[in-house]
Structures are given as structure tokens and as C-alpha cells.
């Protein structure tokens, strides 16, 4: 039988070896609580591991960025606002301060393909991770898949929407590229309604609000959704030429020899 001090020392050593310092810090105090409250071994283990994970989430920008599932890395610093003359820089600066997240406000980026909506969405998402906010990114189609999978499990939709509360910012990219059927529109609406004044959404779309009825195949659903989304929101309309075409054209112009 090893003594209590030996066990304590051994746990401290193992926690260091596993690079889980929080475990080393909390296991004794939680063990006292566990004894007082009659937790099972499993409950105690879950509590200890939970604290470690919570600390990591609170401290780890890198972990948050990988959890966010960004499709690529894009930063706000790499975004050249000169290509977006109508984009107000003060608004962009305000958004990058991340003050919209604690207020559960939304950001809507509208504009044709190639103008930098996804770039800005990822850039703002990374800023949010750096500021300590858990973020989750997916395309509109991806979100609908996730919600309908949850919906197929009994009581799963509510559980999933509840689970998503831990993310202070949900990014929904490419709303409007694919129309939703009535079921998908309904699931999507439930997500929007649940987030209203509770947590931020960042949505990008190639469709102006006036055409959202086409996305959701129902004007009333679209109107109810827009109403909730824009009540507390910054709406940015990006326009101009696609950055992809523009850079390609500029490249062609500078490499095409001028005819004498």
C-alpha cells in the first residue's frame, strides 16, 4: 500500500508528464468535494478532466482555432481594404475589436462571389479565437447537415442547439448558394431563433436580403429570420469585382507585352 503522500506525489508527477498542469492543481480539492458529495469514481474523473479541458479552452488560442474548423487560414491583416472602397474602415475596426461578441450581436457580410466574404469571416473568426471566444465555422449546407443529423436523434436538435451555446461565435458561410427545402429552412430557423440575443452569428451570403425568400422557399420564414438577425447586427455589403478575377486581370495586363 502506498501512502497518501506517495499517491499525491505520483499524481503530481504524472500530471507534469502528461502536460496537464490543471489536473495537478485541482485533483486534491476535487477529491475532497467528491468525498463530501459522494461522487462515483467516474464522476470524479470527469470533473478533473473537465477542469483541465476548460482551462485549455480558456487559455489556448491554438486549440480554439483548430476547434473552429476554419477551411483555410486567412487573417484580417492580409485583407486589403483598398480593394473594397465601399467597406467602411471604422466599421471593420469596430468589428475587429470583438466587442460585438459579448453583446451577442451578429455580423452579416453580403456580396457577389470573390469579394472576400469568406476571407473576412475567417479573419474575424481567428480574432475571436485570439480574444478567447470559442468559434465554430461551417458552410450553410454543413450547418443544415449537422442540424438534421441531430434532429434524427430523439430530442437531439435541442441538445445540439444547447451544445452550440458554448461557441460564442458561429460562422455560417455561403448562405444562398444552395436553396433549402422546408425541413432544412425550419431547422435553420430554429438555430437562428435560439441564438437571438444569446450568441453571435456571422453569416456570409451572395444574396441580398430581398432574395432570401428564394433560399428558404418561404417569404415568411425568410422575413422572420432576417428580422431576428438584423435586430442587433452590423451588415456589410461588399461589392466590386471578384478579387480572383481582378488579380488575374492585373497579372495579365502587366505581363502582356504592349503592341508598338
Q: Interface with ligand ADP by CB under 6 A: which range of 37-45, 60-68, 79-87, 183-191?
A: 79-87
Given Mg ion, ligand ADP, none, residue 79, with its beta carbon under 5 to 8 Å by kind, binds ligand ADP
Of the candidates 51, 2, 8, 1, the one whose C-alpha atom is nearest the C-alpha of residue 28 is 8
Binding mask 198-237 for ligand ADP (x = CB under 6 A): ----------------------------------------
Alpha-carbon span 193 to 37, nearest angstrom: 38
- Chain positions 27 to 66 lying near ligand ADP, rule: CB under 6 A, are none
Helix 41-59 to helix 21-37 angle (10° resolution) is: 140
- The reply on whether position 83 binds ligand ADP by CB under 6 A is yes
Nearer to Mg ion, 71 or 102 (CB): 71
Burial of 221 (0-12, 13-18, 19+ CB in 10 A): buried
Given ligand ADP, Mg ion, none, residue 123, with its beta carbon under 5 to 8 Å by kind, binds none
Alpha-carbon span 113 to 205, nearest angstrom: 9
153 within 8 A of 188, measured Cβ to Cβ? no
- Chain positions 116 to 135 lying near ligand ADP, rule: CB under 6 A, are 116-119
Contacting residues toward ligand ADP, per CB under 6 A: 74, 78-80, 83-84, 111, 113-119, 243-244
Amino acid at each position: 500500500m502506498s501512502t497518501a503522500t506517495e499517491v499525491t506525489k505520483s499524481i503530481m508527477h504524472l500530471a507534469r508528464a502528461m502536460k496537464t498542469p490543471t489536473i495537478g492543481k485541482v485533483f486534491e480539492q476535487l477529491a475532497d468535494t467528491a468525498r463530501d458529495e459522494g461522487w462515483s469514481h467516474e464522476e470524479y474523473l470527469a470533473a478533473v478532466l473537465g477542469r483541465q479541458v476548460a482551462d485549455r479552452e480558456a487559455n489556448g488560442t491554438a486549440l480554439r482555432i483548430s476547434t473552429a474548423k476554419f477551411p483555410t487560414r486567412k487573417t484580417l491583416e492580409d485583407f486589403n481594404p483598398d480593394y473594397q472602397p465601399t467597406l467602411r474602415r471604422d466599421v471593420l475596426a469596430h468589428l475587429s475589436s470583438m466587442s460585438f461578441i459579448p453583446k451577442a450581436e451578429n455580423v452579416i457580410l453580403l456580396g457577389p462571389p470573390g469579394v472576400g466574404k469568406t476571407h473576412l469571416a475567417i479573419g474575424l473568426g481567428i480574432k475571436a479565437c485570439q480574444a478567447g471566444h470559442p468559434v465554430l465555422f461551417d458552410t450553410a449546407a454543413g450547418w443544415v447537415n449537422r442540424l438534421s443529423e441531430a434532429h434524427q436523434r430523439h430530442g437531439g436538435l435541442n441538445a445540439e442547439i444547447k451544445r452550440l451555446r458554448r461557441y460564442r461565435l458561429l460562422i455560417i458561410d455561403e448562405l444562398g448558394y444552395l436553396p433549402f427545402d422546408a425541413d432544412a429552412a425550419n431547422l435553420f430557423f430554429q438555430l437562428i431563433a435560439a441564438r437571438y440575443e444569446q450568441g453571435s452569428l456571422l453569416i456570409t451570403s451572395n444574396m441580398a436580403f430581398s432574395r432570401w425568400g428564394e433560399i428558404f422557399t418561404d417569404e415568411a420564414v425568410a422575413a422572420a429570420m432576417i428580422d431576428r438577425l438584423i435586430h442587433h447586427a452590423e451588415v456589410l455589403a461588399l461589392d466590386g469585382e471578384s478579387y480572383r478575377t481582378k488579380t488575374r486581370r492585373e497579372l495579365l495586363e502587366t505581363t502582356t507585352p504592349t503592341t508598338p
